[in-house]
Amino acid sequence: MTNKTAFITGASRGIGRACALALAEARARVVVAARAVDKLEELAASMRANGHEVYVAELDVSSPDSIKAAFTKATSEFGRIDILVNNAGITRDGLALRMKKDDWDAVLNTNLGGAFFSIQQVLQGMLRAHWGRIINIASVVGEMGNPGQANYAAAKAGLIGLTKSLALELSSRNVTVNAVAPGFVETDMTAGLSQELKDNMLAHIPLRRFGKAEDVAAAVRFLASDEASYITGHVLDVNGGLYM
């Protein structure tokens, strides 16, 4: 990935952070983007100490204006974005009967709308170059559903549909579009779950362990590589066998 530039949303922690490290180790220049600029600066400092090229971009994917500003600044620093990893996401869980419109809108706008508008920012450069990698971080929940997460599941299922549609649109220009669907991964987002829920989930995972952010990052790194040039419109499950 030498001389390639990767832009990772939600890069301040968890899966996004792991993706930034994995792509940098693969010799890509990396743009780390999120709302938590202080955490991004800490990450960037440690990466630069290891010889990596890193640019920090403040980004709120729920805001189209913020998305446009972040990508404009990143391209002025590094030029064309070759690899886009749409990782940023939020949860606003609740039973459908009681789910507020604000919670529905926030999750759909951030997890699905944010990904789409980010993709729009990189398309022109990728199409002109006849090369690009778009990787959307979906979820096993978008494939199998989950009680209390109608908004999150709908957004992630929508992300899978978006992946397949864009793969068809962009394939003639050598731009691949794929999704990675993690299962239960140990991150800050899942740390707050009760032990009872964790034990129940573990019992349904054939590999009998929870995933790590690095497991997902390895899949992202592969899909971003030249080795994956004949893969597009695919959903790569990284879930320990939870959903097949």
**Residue (of 123, 142, 140, 120) closest to 131 by Cα position:** 123
Rounded Cα distance between 30 and 23, Å, is 7
Rounded Cα distance between 55 and 32, Å, is 6
List 55, 152, 230, 243, catalytic entry: 152
CA distances from 205 to 101, 122, 199, 244 (A): 33, 36, 10, 11
Q: Which residue has the tokens 């030249």?
A: 226
Query: Taking each helix axis from N to C terminus, what angle separates 101-108 and 150-170, rounded to the nearest 10 degrees?
Result: 30
- 152 labelled catalytic: yes
**What secondary structure letter does DSSP report for 211?**
B
Q: In the chain, what are the helix, strand and coil shares in percent, each to the nearest 5?
A: 50, 15, 30
The most distant pair of C-alpha atoms in the chain lies apart, rounded to whole Å, by: 51
Helix ranges, 131-210 (H): 141-144, 150-170, 188-191, 195-202
Q: Taking the CA atoms of the chain, what radius of gyration do you get in angstroms? A: 17
Q: Which residues are part of the catalytic machinery?
A: 152
